[in-house]
Amino acid sequence: MPIDFNHARHAMVEQQVRPWEVLDSRVLDVLGQVRREDFVPVQHRKLAFTDLPLPLEHGEFMMKPVIEGRLLQALDVAETDEVLEIGFGTGFLTACLAQLARSVHAIDLHADFVTAAQRRLAERGITNARLECADAAQWKTAQRFDAILVGGAVATLPESFTHWLKPGGRLVLVRGNAPVQEAICLRNDTAGRSIDSLFETDIPYLRGFAPEARFTL
């Protein structure tokens, strides 16, 4: 029996995302508008709106919709913001951010992810997102951003990520040691940096930012 994706998308927003304390109307609207099913691997398309992480190539994963919603809400993107996304995977959150912000610069380690995401964004007429194949651990830029979203967990907060923030900017990521990680929002205020704890979760690590392996006898 064919799936009614519009109904499934609406149910995802109303029965999964909104009940998990995502109340920002702009975030709910964009999650209800962007066709998530077009951004998941074809073999998992029927699972696009389930409360599950979806496997991607290279051992990567697409986050659950509820986590995507909470992170987008915490980022608090304004229409005038310039946003950096680190680790964009399929490009779904890139598409969401592009509707919320003035511009998006997104980087990912995998060249095939970049090619596929560029095609998906182009098919939807999204022109304010620039995608780049780059390793976040080595990437350098003189640009500073109003908001930064990290699409995978990090063991500890990389200092380089905070350097890419404008004064008053926000950085949203998940940090810590699995299986108990913490989503945080770092604010680069004029009086100094502040960190708000958002919620506990457990997501795969951004490549190159996992905890160092420890060996015990």
pLDDT of residue 127: 97
Q: Model confidence at 76, in pLDDT bands (50, 70, 90)?
A: very high
pLDDT of residue 109: 97
DSSP state of 25: H
pLDDT at 1 over 70: no
Mean pLDDT of 56-82: 97
Domains and CATH numbers, the chain: 5-201 (3.40.50.150)
Among the listed residues 47, 16, 53, 51, the one whose alpha carbon sits nearest the alpha carbon of residue 32: 16
Cβ atoms of 158 and 178 within 8 Å: the answer is no
Record the tokens describing residue 126, joined without a space: 């999204």
Cβ atoms of 188 and 167 within 8 Å: the answer is yes
92-100 vs 111-123: helix crossing angle, rounded to 10: 50
Q: What is the pLDDT of residues 93-147, one digit of tens each?
A: 999 999 999 999 999 999 999 999 999 999 999 999 999 999 999 999 999 999 9
Question: Can you give the pTM of this predicted structure?
Answer: 0.95
pLDDT of residue 191: 81
pLDDT at 2 over 90: no
Q: What is the pLDDT of residues 145-203, one digit of tens each?
A: 999 999 999 999 999 999 999 999 999 999 999 999 999 999 998 888 999 999 999 99
Q: Model confidence at 217, in pLDDT bands (50, 70, 90)?
A: low
Q: What is the mean pLDDT of the chain?
A: 95
pLDDT of residue 215: 54
Q: Model confidence at 25, in pLDDT bands (50, 70, 90)?
A: very high
pLDDT of residue 216: 53
Query: How far apart (Å, rounded) are the C-alpha atoms in residues 139 and 7?
Result: 40
